[in-house]
Structure 1
Amino acid sequence: MISTNAAEQAVHALFGELARAWDLGDADAYGACFTAGATYTTFVGTVYRGRDDLAAGHRALFGSVLKGTRMFNEIVDIRFYGDDTAVVAGRGDVARRRPAKLTKVQTYTLVREAGEWRIASFHNTRRKPLMEALSFRFVPASAPRR
């Protein structure tokens, strides 16, 4: 069994690689952070299937609307399910400068392949703080406990 501390450090290192690849606009390095059969769901609902598909899509995006942007992310929670699977909850955003608040909520499913953590599934949702606050006001019991 791997130590949780070492596994957490490795997961943080993967997120560092992911951000570096984005910041460089390197679609191949970005794609290398994912498994060959990964699924990738954007906040607008686009679903990429497989590393090659998501790398090709990001190559086009890095050459146009996302050119010069940087990735900002925070890991909120890491849950390990055995030695080779983890679910990561986070917040993130992409912009030219770090935004005051990260506007997206993200879920990553990670697997270890040949000792290296890779992202098998990614889902990105844009957070709507006003709608969230209204729902908690009208249905207080729906608010997360922490």
Structure 2
Amino acid sequence: MIDTDRTAAVTAVLDSLAEAWSRGDADAYAAHFTEDATYITFVGTRYQGRQDIAGSHRALFAKFLKGTRLAHEVIDVRFLGPDAAVLTSRGDTVKGERPKKLTKVQTYTLVREDGRWLVAAFHNTQRKALMEGISFRFAPETRPKVEQ
């Protein structure tokens, strides 16, 4: 399998996660994670394992996140070997139209198990554009060499 095929397979996981989210299907959403996956939300909550991820999302889809969908764009995919990848994206939960700017930065660590790519670790961070701008203005050397 060449890298473009692996990249497509890895990025397809995000599309499939978004489809399960849109249906409010916590079990289908959690099925994309390894049995022992680590999941960190943008507020800092840590879930451990597929069952914890499914249970928490079942409650979230019934209340706070009911009727939402995921919007995402892939920034980068790096392979750490034939069966491991790190994917960085921007994303957000939305109702209605997709916002012009996605407010979260996400890191997915994926592993291939039995030919299927699964998320072993997920970290979601709320982007603070104002704070970034202040930092870059007063300490320009903190600006990333490549902004995305």
Q: TM class, shorter-chain normalised? A: over 0.9
- How many residues align structurally? 145
Q: Deviations over 1:92-133 (max 9, x none)?
A: 000102122100000110000000000000000000001000
Q: Deviations over 1:63-110 (max 9, x none)?
A: 011000010011100000111000011100001021221000001100
1:14, 1:108 → 2: CA distance? 10
3-state DSSP class of the match of 1:43?
coil
Q: Deviations over 1:29-83 (max 9, x none)?
A: 0000100100000000100000000110000000011000010011100000111
Tell me the residue number matched to 2:63. 64
- CA-CA distance at 1:15 after TM superposition: 1.1
Tell me the residue number matched to 1:120. 120
Given the two structures, how large is their TM-score scaled by the length of structure 1?
A: 0.98
1:1-146 mapped onto 2 (5 Å cutoff): 2-97=1-96, 98-146=98-146
1:95, 1:37 → 2: CA distance? 28
- CA-CA distance at 1:13 after TM superposition: 1.4
Task: Give % identity.
Answer: 57
- CA-CA distance at 1:7 after TM superposition: 0.3
3-state DSSP class of the match of 1:81?
strand
3-state DSSP class of the match of 2:81?
coil
**Two-structure CA RMSD over aligned residues (Å):** 0.6
1:48, 1:12 → 2: CA distance? 23
Given the two structures, how large is their TM-score scaled by the length of structure 2?
A: 0.96
2:34, 2:84 → 1: CA distance? 13
**Regions of 4+ moved over 4 Å:** none
Give the counterpart letter for 1:47 in structure 2: R
Structure 2 spans left out of the alignment, 5+ residues: none
